[in-house]
Amino acid sequence: MANQDDDDDDDDIDINPFTMLLLTDQPEPKPDNDDSSKPHSSIEDHSPNQQQQHYLRSIDSTVLIRQLRSQGLSFQLWPAATSLFSLLDNHRSHPSSSPLTSSLSSPRRLRILELGSGTGLVGITAALTLSADVTLTDLPHVLPNLDFNAQANREVLTRHGGSVDVAALSWGDVDQMEALIGREYDLVLGSDVVYHDHLYDPLLRTLGFFLLGRTVFVMAHLRRWKKEAVFFKRAKKMFDVEVIHRDGPCDGSRVGVVVYCFSPKDKSHHWDDNVGLLS
């Protein structure tokens, strides 16, 4: 298991996030303010090849994902999502050598929450490869496309015994989390969710809400800015943070996607669906 910790290393150069978005043949993305101001009716997108097939060798099945690149950053696949996609596929084929195994052990059917799902590739893949119940979440204006992708994969999900639902979750909104999402998750997933510094604290508050007892956060991350060290310093005050996997450098970069596991420092707090928070 990889565990060298380099998040505080300030030697890395900053990398323009827009040059590191993903894969090939992309137009320059429009900046996305990550607010909910975009009307749902703006969801139409006429760019070619917006729906892609992602083949999962472990279950000989395909995940269909629609990207709406002209709609902004929330509607595109980011590099860390494809890393988690591959890790989940490999985990299904070779669990004994998978870096995910210790995070995925549960005596019951896994209940998974994905934060900042974007297109939903990671959460849908988790539902398929782990036969798990997954809640995909994002800001309200992202949900129509997330719903579209959930629907596009209904048949394959049913075949493999997985389920997904879709819900709005704005990080840091504890009332919304308590009222709509609940706490009954075994695992929280995220890919490329650390990027704007004004989102660091809301994301950490969200993790503080969900990470109780044995619930962990598995996060795939491609480092772009030195300032991200601030997020990891704050995270390490709240959680045990371990590197569980590193990919090789992405094309044209010195860095690759790193996968972390965040776990509560005090594992004695846990949530009981009937009683509430127990310690």
- Residues lying near ligand SAM in the complex (CB under 6 A) are found at 34, 73-74, 77-78, 80-81, 116-119, 138-139, 142, 169-171, 191-193, 195, 199, 202
Q: Taking a C-beta distance cutoff of 8 angstroms, is the pair 228, 6 a contact?
A: no
Find the helix or strand (DSSP H, E) in which 91 lies.
helix 79-93
Q: Is the four-CA dihedral 87, 89, 90, 93 of positive or negative sign? A: positive
User: Is the Cβ of residue 59 or residue 115 nearer to ligand SAM in the bound state?
Assistant: 115
Minimum CB separation of residue 235 from ligand SAM in Å reads 16
Q: CA 112 → CA 84, 121, 183, 215, distances in Å?
A: 14, 14, 10, 10
Dihedral pair phi/psi, residue 84, rounded to 5°:
-65, -35
User: Is the Cβ of residue 74 or residue 263 nearer to ligand SAM in the bound state?
Assistant: 74
User: Is the Cβ of residue 55 or residue 94 nearer to ligand SAM in the bound state?
Assistant: 55
Minimum CB separation of residue 279 from ligand SAM in Å reads 28
Locus of tokens 């596929």? 89
User: Is the Cβ of residue 214 or residue 234 nearer to ligand SAM in the bound state?
Assistant: 234
Minimum CB separation of residue 74 from ligand SAM in Å reads 3
User: Is the Cβ of residue 90 or residue 117 nearer to ligand SAM in the bound state?
Assistant: 117
Minimum CB separation of residue 192 from ligand SAM in Å reads 4
Non-local (6+) Cβ contacts of 41 within 8 A are: none
Non-local (6+) Cβ contacts of 156 within 8 A are: 61, 62, 63, 128
Neighbours of 9 (CB within 10 A): 10
Minimum CB separation of residue 191 from ligand SAM in Å reads 4
